Structure 1
């Protein structure tokens, strides 16, 4: 299969950074669309469909437990599919991973609810969510690393932010689709079948994204670039952990404030405001869509800022601003609608600026032969530590101890980021 696609692209004399950038953005946007379709459904739909025996709050908390399973599975998928890549090639690995992600996502659309098959509905949802994480972990193609390594010395921040544009794009499309369906359908139709439509769309988008990425990934030129920069999976992950485990952990914690904020302005506000009946669902989604657009430009601005003050300085400065935002959060979320909307919009601004530089900020500490595997596992670890349990923890703590617990939770991420960046200064070899 790889040879056939390579022949189709034989006329390419090389791969321009712009081609890599397009492949990265398309791939990331499709993944984040899947990601946010599930995240939004875990608030709007799953508590009532899969946990109807509970009140809205505990039902949402149970839904967030299942939500976290994908992040637990993600590093497992990374390691498993790296083995597939070494044996059968990068194209087979990427195809298998994205089809697994797509079929798991589409499978959720066909699931009957708890009232039809009882606990089996929850079990099947959990299995498919875990498979989503396996597929997402396996979809790492090395394009972000290759893009970063091809960046001019004074444009590293700009090139680093390009893959991160997929997050706001995926969120805006997912939230917009849910907003349309929720607004146009009756509540009964939305719960019965309307919510399933975005999961079908996710599968179709995955297929398109697969071919867009294969067009680059399986070319001879791409392989030559990977060989040049030693971007191949290591034979033994244990070797990477033994030699560079500290750098992986430091890299994950360096972005912790941003990754924690990621869910605290996307999934959490939706759950908090709905559980407390503070705003109409379509109004919240609309404000979040505006926030996603602002975050898109925030990601772009982060590249400009990082090229002037440095990526690590950008992360550290934004962590401080996130800390200030954390202190103000209880007063905003517990206030009037306008204050709640300010929380969402300011949160998205900070998310765009910080998330734009959160990936791979410290992978320069890794030896070249470890960067491909190390970048993937650092990202997996950052998602697991910073984002997997953020909606569950934030909603649970805030509901039982008040919104000041939300401040404490986010501030803990800020402290971890600042400590990790400080430690990284002693490890930096760039």
Structure 2
């Protein structure tokens, strides 16, 4: 009888470091593009229309990455099955870094005309495809190896990448916008964050490869049955769980861009505050989101993940009712919208991932978690800046309330359906 070779136990703390570095690098890319869509792209790529229309056009292109992301997941899961995790992760992060740094070299509309816009859209699609391949299974492995009674605390660690990535991106844009003239900022300095994104991706790549290519982690992934099941097989067998999980997280994902990208666009277009003031408040908000994300793990371990996500959905719905009053008010009220929104985002997003992951059969969990995240981003966040800004200009800020409320309702309905399915089992 063949005995399996002994191997070192997986240390959750080591996985946590890899998860945070990996997620923070992805979100940094994500927010660099999002902030540039408000501050840079309307002037550089859409100078032939007014600033509002240019921002809306930029938000359309912003959504392309989220549309492409599930296709990227399918592509790179195939690559992993044939050539392994290391090849998949290297190829996806190289593609992501190349697409991101290419934006830094992209001439504007005044130089290339419409070709510049087409190239920007193409690079954004490539970013989305590449992001689909960055799933390394470490968050799932971390949750499965968490100490008993602390799974939610460990599950929230990967979610810390969002506020950390935002803080890095917003700080860099704040520094450049504060230190340079408007001409220099729009002329060349805006390109610098895209260079930095490439460098961060390289660091993140080596940090993650150091984990996923070791024998200990290979064995741990295999023992946990974290396999790259084909997307077709996944959708055919567990598709209902993917969409149920995506909608269960919708309140959090809908809120995501409504406290990060949307306030920056709305306030700067209405000139009710200086851009630097908004970015500064958002940095404070991101700190609150970090604390909220950490707190969410302790709360969920005590009252349960479903109760935490459901309660936060209700609170997000209440917050939605007051959003028009806050955003239409004074600078202090707008700041309150940002700070309260970031706090709710941390508390909800901290537990949004994997809300119904336990529903997946074990061998489907790896691909299922990736696709659930992809569709949650697509349904909840991809069009949020475009819809919120476009409808708010046309019909007033009540559109933001409706958008957030719809996300909260979807979350509560999905959680209810999930509970019924579990009761039925």
How far off is 1:39 after superposition? 0.4
Q: Which residue of structure 2 aligns with residue 158 of structure 1?
A: 153
Structure 2 residue 10 is matched with structure 1 residue 15: yes
Once the two structures are TM-superposed, the CA of residue 243 in structure 1 deviates from its matched residue by: 1.8
Deviation at 1:239, TM superposition (A): 2.0
Which residue, 110, 119, 127 being the options, matches 1:115?
A: 110
Q: Which residue of 1 aligns with 2:409?
A: 415
Pick one of 85, 92, 100 that aligns with 1:90. 85
Aligned partner of 1:305 among 286, 299, 311: 299
RMSD: 1.4
253, 263, 279: which one aligns with 2:257: 263
- Larger deviation, residues 153-162 vs 44-53: 153-162
- Structure 1 residue aligned with 2:173: 178
- Deviation at 1:356? 0.1
The residue number in structure 1 matching 2:3 is none
Equivalent in 29, 34, 39 of residue 39 of structure 1: 34
Residues of 2 paired with 1:259 and 1:372: CA distance? 21
Q: Helix, strand or coil: the match of 2:13?
A: helix
Deviates more, 1:12-21 or 1:338-347: 12-21
Q: SS at 2:351's partner residue?
A: coil
Using structure 1 for the length normalisation, give the TM-score: 0.96
Question: Structure 1 residue 59 and structure 2 residue 54: aligned?
Answer: yes
Structure 1 residue 237, shift from structure 2 partner:
2.1
Cα offset for 1:190? 0.2
| Residue 245 (structure 1) shift | 1.0
* Distance across 2 between alignment mates of 1:378 and 1:355: 14
Q: Deviations over 1:221-243 (max 9, x none)?
A: 11111111110111x32222122
Which of 266, 270, 280 is the equivalent residue of 1:272?
266
Distance 1:349 1:267 in 2: 16
Instruction: State the partner residue of 1:346.
Output: 340
Q: Secondary structure of the residue that 1:154 maps to in structure 2? A: coil
Find the partner of 2:394 among 394, 400, 420: 400
Q: Which residue of 337, 349, 360 corresponds with 2:354?
A: 360
C-alpha separation in 2, matches of 1:54 and 1:274: 17
Partner Cα distance (1:244, 1:405) in 2: 34
Question: Contact 1:364–1:428 at 8 Å: present in 2 too?
Answer: no
Deviations 1:166-197 (A, max 9, x none): 11000001000000000000000000001000
Structure 1: how far apart are the matches of 2:239 and 2:202? 35
1:405, CA displacement in angstroms? 1.2
Separation in structure 1 between the aligned mates of residue 351 and residue 406 of structure 2, nearest angstrom: 20
Whether 1:253 and 2:240 are equivalent positions in the alignment is no
Supply the distance in 1 between the matched residues of 2:86 and 2:311 (Cα, whole angstroms). 39
Cα offset, 1:152, TM superposition: 2.5
Correspondence for 1:187: 182
Correspondent of 2:368 among 350, 364, 374: 374
Higher mean displacement: 64-73 or 151-160: 151-160
- Structure 1: segments with no counterpart, 5+ residues: 1-11
Q: How many residues align?
A: 420
Report the alpha carbon displacement of residue 427 of structure 1 after superposing the two structures with TM.
2.7
> Is the Cα–Cα contact under 8 Å of residues 10 and 145 in structure 2 kept in the other structure?
no
Q: Tell me how far apart the structure 1 counterparts of residues 386 and 245 of structure 2 sit (CA, whole Å).
A: 24
Q: Does 1:133 align with 2:128?
A: yes
384-393 vs 152-161, greater mean Cα deviation: 152-161
Question: Residue in 2 aligned with 1:228?
Answer: 223
Deviations 1:383-420 (A, max 9, x none): 00000000000000100000011101110000000000
- In 1, Cα distance between equivalents of 2:306 and 2:154: 15
1:94-153 residue CA offsets vs partner (Å, 9 max, x unmatched): 000001000100000000000101000000000100111111110100000000111233
Partner of 1:321 in structure 2? 315
Contact 1:262 1:387 in 2 (8 A): yes
Asked whether the equivalents of residues 20 and 160 of structure 2 are also in contact (C-alpha less than 8 Å), the reply is yes
Deviation track 1:33-84 (CA, whole Å, cap 9, x = no partner) reads 0100000000000011000011111110000000000001111111101111
Partner residue, 1:7: none
Q: Give, in whole Å, the separation in 2 of the partners of 1:428 and 1:183.
A: 53
Distance in 2 between residues matched to 1:148 and 1:263, nearest whole Å:
26
